[in-house]
Chains A and B, each alone.
Chain A
Amino acid sequence: METVEINLEEQFQARIDADVRIEPKDWMPDAYRKTLIRQISQHAHSELVGMLPEGNWITRAPSLKRKSILLAKVQDEAGHGLYLYSAAETLGASRDQMLADLHSGKAKYSSIFNYPTLSWADMGCVGWLVDGAAILNQVPLCRTSYGPYARAMVRVCKEESFHQRQGFEIMQTLCEGTPVQKEMAQEALNRWWWPTLMMFGPKDADSPNTAQSMNWRIKRFTNDELRQKFVDMMVPQAEFLGLTVPDPNVKWNQTKNGYDFGEVDWEEFWNVVKGNGMCNKDRLGARIKAHEEGAWVREAALAHAAKRKQREQQEKSAAA
């Protein structure tokens, strides 16, 4: 039996190395399946919880146009969550179990959503920086080795670029506005810059799963590579806006053809991951409340569907 297992594993790796996508019913190592379920469900949870900091601003958007855009964006996030949950379900994970793990705190979601959205400029930063970072993470995932995950990411990426642009537009409008508005933009950038850099995860040296994920081609770039790309992309954009990135160590480095930048506060990162961020309790609380208060709707829909089915059957047998 053992040799068969080894052969399957070798064949599997050979397919991965040849860039053949893995599909739901294909044989795969248990660890591959587990890694994917963890990563995809975490990703789905992030989309779901990611609606909360923005939902906070729907009723206070400064114009009807901004409100419509924000509503559309939040609706997209719900859709992204759904694409991803569906992808995870193709691996045998159940939706109810994934949600239960989110609500119990067993499953994680992106720490970025445990920071508060204090001003309208935060909606700009969430779109411009947070979604910008998400896009950098997600574009390579369109080529990830698991078919359903890759297809979900293609759809997500198509929609995500609107998110980033509307965020940048909010920032640009504020920066071209009154001095107070510009200050609001700078203040938001000051608060969001570092947490956004943390979105790429721990440093490569502290990320034990990276090597295996790269080998399985789930991941295509390391955390540090993506973080560097992000800084290289964002510093010029901040300059364009006339804003200053809150890091005195940001400096162009000709040799590496990229920016040098300061060290992320990893203590803060791990602290938020462990559940002690500013909004962890708030976010999970809001999520659980929405889920529990929606329970009667889910039950009623099932009961309604059952009743309708029964009535149809009665009508059919009466006609026969």
Chain B
Amino acid sequence: MNQAEWPLWEVFIRSKQGLDHKHVGSLHAADATMAIQNARDVYTRRMEGVSIWVVESVHVHASNPDDSAAFFDPANDKVYRHPTFYEVPDSIKHM
């Protein structure tokens, strides 16, 4: 085991035109071309995708779950951002 591992890549798949690419998992590959080919073989054997993105995992930066309470706190007390916050009289239609 003295040999370096192939880098890890995160795989994102668009399941059909019009939808977002969605994270489906990860895999090892020597480079981006191989990562895309491997992703095709591993994650789209049953026509699950029409487009693949791969990103080397080391390039993904993430928010810290330990801070998530404070981090997401600013949105916590702003219910007025939701339409259901407002009362619309019954007689008003199309709103």
Partner of A298, one of B6, B41, B66: B6
B17 close to chain A: CB less than 8 A: no
* Total interface residues in chain B, CB < 8 Å: 21
A206 close to chain B: CB less than 8 A: no
Partner of A26, one of B27, B30, B46, B65: B65
Q: Which of B66-93 contact A (CB under 8 A)?
A: 66
**Given known A-B contacts A95-B5, A305-B31, A23 and B65 have beta carbons under 8 A apart:** yes
Residue of B with least CB distance to A100: B1
B34 A301 Cβ-Cβ under 8 A: yes
What 0/1 readout, one digit per residue, does chain A (75-102) give for beta carbons within 8 Å of chain B?
A: 1100100110010011000111100100
With most chain A CB atoms within 10 A of its CB, the pick from B30, B31, B46, B62 is B30
B25 A152 Cβ-Cβ under 8 A: yes
Residue pairs across A and B with CB atoms within 8 Å: the count is 55
User: What is the CA–CA distance of A151 and B24 in the complex, to the nearest angstrom?
Assistant: 9
**Given known A-B contacts A76-B45, A82-B42, A304 and B1 have beta carbons under 8 A apart:** no
A304 B5 Cβ-Cβ under 8 A: no
A97 B1 Cβ-Cβ under 8 A: yes
User: What is the CA–CA distance of A95 and B57 in the complex, to the nearest angstrom?
Assistant: 15
* Total interface residues in chain A, CB < 8 Å: 31
* B95 CB → nearest A CB, Å: 36
Partner of B27, one of A82, A96, A305: A82
* A5 CB → nearest B CB, Å: 14
B47 close to chain A: CB less than 8 A: no
**Given known A-B contacts A82-B42, A301-B34, A302-B30, A25 and B62 have beta carbons under 8 A apart:** yes
A27 close to chain B: CB less than 8 A: yes
User: What is the CA–CA distance of A27 and B64 in the complex, to the nearest angstrom?
Assistant: 11
User: What is the CA–CA distance of A96 and B46 in the complex, to the nearest angstrom?
Assistant: 29
What 0/1 readout, one digit per residue, does chain B (15-56) give for beta carbons within 8 Å of chain A?
A: 000000000011110110010000001100110000000000
B65 A302 Cβ-Cβ under 8 A: no
A96 B1 Cβ-Cβ under 8 A: yes
A302 B27 Cβ-Cβ under 8 A: no
A89 B65 Cβ-Cβ under 8 A: no
* B29 CB → nearest A CB, Å: 8
B3 A89 Cβ-Cβ under 8 A: no
User: What is the CA–CA distance of A159 and B47 in the complex, to the nearest angstrom?
Assistant: 13
A299 close to chain B: CB less than 8 A: yes
A308 close to chain B: CB less than 8 A: yes
* B4 CB → nearest A CB, Å: 7
A86 B27 Cβ-Cβ under 8 A: yes
Chain A residues with Cβ under 8 A from B3's Cβ? 295, 298-299
**Given known A-B contacts A25-B64, A25-B65, A82-B42, A304 and B28 have beta carbons under 8 A apart:** no
Chain B residues with Cβ under 8 A from A25's Cβ? 62, 64-65
User: What is the CA–CA distance of A305 and B35 in the complex, to the nearest angstrom?
Assistant: 11
B30 A301 Cβ-Cβ under 8 A: yes
* B66 CB → nearest A CB, Å: 7
What 0/1 readout, one digit per residue, does chain A (125-156) give for beta carbons within 8 Å of chain B?
A: 00000000000000000000000000110010
**Given known A-B contacts A83-B25, A94-B5, A299-B3, A305 and B30 have beta carbons under 8 A apart:** yes
List 20 A–B pairs whose Cβ atoms lie within 8 Å, in order of A's numbering.
A26-B65, A27-B65, A27-B66, A79-B41, A82-B42, A83-B25, A83-B42, A86-B25, A86-B26, A89-B8, A89-B26, A100-B1, A151-B25, A152-B25, A295-B3, A298-B3, A301-B6, A301-B34, A302-B6, A308-B31
Q: A25-B64, A305-B30 are in contact. List 9 more A-B contacts (CB 8 A).
A: A25-B62, A75-B41, A83-B42, A86-B27, A89-B8, A152-B25, A295-B3, A298-B3, A301-B34
Residues of B at under 8 Å CB distance from A?
1, 3-6, 8, 25-28, 30-31, 34, 41-42, 45-46, 62, 64-66
